Amino acid sequence: MMRLFLPLVMLCLAVTNTEAQPQNQYSKFDVRHWGVVLDNENTAKVTVQENIQYFTDDKARLHFDLYMPPAYQQKQLLPAVIFLNGIGDQAGEPVVKSWEIYRSWPRLMAAEGFMGISMETDGSRVQESLQALFDYLDKEGHRYGIDASRLGVYAASANTNQSGQYLMKATAYKGIKAAVLYYGTAPAAPFRKDLPVLFFIAEGDVRGNAYQAIWADVLKNKAPWTITMGSDLPHAFDALTNNELARTAIKATISFWKNHLEPLPASSQPFSPEREMLETQYWQQPTKLVELMGNWLQKNPGIKEAIFFQHYGRALFNAGELEQAEKILKKCISLGSANNFLLLNLAAVSYALNKSAAAENYLAVFEKKEPIRPFHYLNMANSLYQFKKYNYAAYCCEKAIALEPRAGDYYNLGCYYALDGKKEKAFDALQKAAALGYNTKNNYESDTDLESLRPLSRWKILMEQLH
């Protein structure tokens, strides 16, 4: 672990450079010569504090350059965007922060009103160097006008490897509020749920199976990622592609940082319990919704809005409070609701309460208003499956199949029969599913609903039909 040593000299500001930066030292045939292709009229007015030492020990002294907005006011704390050096600096080679892309990007962000930072990194200790920079900014950033609680980061190309490793750690600095990863490899999952990431894929990098698993990992981890496909853009487009498409992508990147780093105005909208209930409904949290709506009804017993009872009845149904759901849904209909689907809800509730005659009556009333379609029956079947009413789930699924036979529905019917102990009917349904094209063996072998069928002789015969 690196030892952070902060002698008093480190707290002194480097000389402010208000003139043009040193001439570009790289050949035009060297990618390091080229800077970001988007400019801002204020970039020439940006001031730079070079070589601020953030770490020293007996092996290395590490520095960063600070780019400050025009007319920066002392004691003003601003969010900062840090251009990470994830590859490390090597002895005898120019430091990464001397590359034009790492001089022009932080200058551009300073022109946009942020602090811009480019950094040196010990190539043999990249992770420790990154942590040391954030530790330093946490303790001393305020001396340079940096709000260390509002930091954005950028890593591109090979820099994304070690930078991504750092950012996905639970121990990564908590002041990092937004990360941009350009045309590099994706970090290894799991992805953090508390770090917004803009992951920009350039079309020129898409080969073979590159990037195939990213979206699956994002969904699995419910991570707040924005994945952008840079069609018609190559690797290093922000330095090399001098056209509107590249500049538009860069502007979108700046907006991403602004959205996450700039303070939002305080809301002028008062708290609304009705809005909270709808939000809870869309979160699909029926138990919490039942509690919220029940409490609200106690405080507003005279309510006559059918839509309230519609939402409440469905929440009760989804929470498994069937008798109360039946009562509330009937109340909704008595208030004149024109929503025919309430009749299907009542039919499903009635089946779940073993009131099959009442259920059939609700279906008959519904059918007088509009035709019953397969998905109506399938929705009821799925609900009844959740309530472990497998016999009625199978009954509704059969009704759907009678209207439109489909392979997946036969498969579900087989599951319902298996769970209901009707094994021969289950095999009959599964064989029809296989014949109609639902024939991936792994689906059958991994489904716990079919466990009761596996010891039987027909199971082996069924497996021979699959692939």
Question: Residue 110 has which token pair?
Answer: 């300073």
Quote the CA–CA distance of 315 and 346 in Å, as a whole number: 13
Residue 333 lies in a domain: no
- CA distances (Å), origin 33, targets 18, 182, 407: 22, 18, 60
Q: Which residues pair with 52 in a beta bridge?
A: 64
Q: Is residue 205 part of a domain?
A: yes
| Residue pointed to by tokens 């330093």 | 136
Residue at 190: amino acid letter: P
| Residue-averaged pLDDT of the chain | 93
- Please report how many Cα atoms fall inside a 13 Å half-sphere around the Cα of residue 141, on the Cβ side: 23
Instruction: For 92-175, list the strands marked E by DSSP.
Output: 115-119, 146-156
Q: pTM higher than 0.85, yes or no?
A: no
Place of tokens 């009542």: 346
Confidence category of residue 74, pLDDT binned at 50, 70, 90: confident
Per-residue pLDDT of 392-409, as tens digits, reads 999 999 999 999 999 999
14/60 Cα distance (integer angstroms): 19
Instruction: Write the pLDDT tens digit of every residue in 34-73.
Output: 999 999 999 999 999 999 999 999 999 999 999 999 988 8
Handedness of CA 411, 416, 420, 422 (dihedral sign): negative
Q: What is the CATH number of the domain that holds 180?
A: 3.40.50.1820
> What are the pLDDT digits (tens) for 256-296?
999 999 998 898 999 999 999 999 999 999 999 999 999 99
* Structural domain contains residue 33: yes
The answer to whether residue 376 is domain-embedded is no
At 4 the pLDDT is 36
Residue 437: which region, alpha, beta or left (left: phi > 0; alpha: psi -120 to 50)? left
Residue-wise over 169-208: b if at least 16 C-beta within 10 A, else e?
eeebbebbbbbbbbbbebbeeebbeebbbbbbbbeebeee
Q: What percent of the chain has pLDDT over 70?
A: 95
**One-letter amino acid for residue 354 of the chain:** N
- Quick check: 12 pLDDT over 50? no
pLDDT number for residue 14 = 35
Per DSSP bridges, beta strands 176-182 and 115-119 are: unpaired
Q: Which domain holds residue 149?
A: 8-261
User: Is residue 20's pLDDT more than 80?
Assistant: no
Please give the tally of structural domains in the chain: 1
Quote the pLDDT of residue 15. Answer: 35
Confidence check: pLDDT of 435 > 80: yes
Q: Percent helix, strand and coil across the chain, each rounded to 5?
A: 50, 15, 35
Question: Residues 367, 370, 371, 375: is their CA dihedral positive or negative?
Answer: negative
Question: CA nearest 256: which of 109, 77, 436?
Answer: 109
Q: Which of 376, 284, 301 is nearest to 309 (CA)?
A: 301
What is the Cα–Cα distance from 230 to 205, expressed in whole angstroms? 10
Q: Is residue 70 part of a domain?
A: yes
**Digit-coded pLDDT (tens) for 322-381:** 999 999 999 999 999 989 999 999 999 999 999 999 999 999 999 999 999 999 999 999
Determine the distance from the C-alpha atom of residue 422 to the mean position of all C-alpha atoms in its chain, rounded to a whole number: 42
| pLDDT at position 189 over 50 | yes
Give the type of residue at 411. Y
- Pull the structure tokens for residue 213: 């698993």
pLDDT at 409: 98
Query: What integer pLDDT is reported at residue 333 of this predicted model?
Result: 94
- pLDDT score, position 75: 81
Examine residue 111 and state whether it is found in any structural domain, yes or no. yes
For the cut 50, the answer to whether the pLDDT of residue 1 exceeds it is no
For residue 10, give both structure tokens.
């480190």
- Say if residue 220's pLDDT is above 70: yes
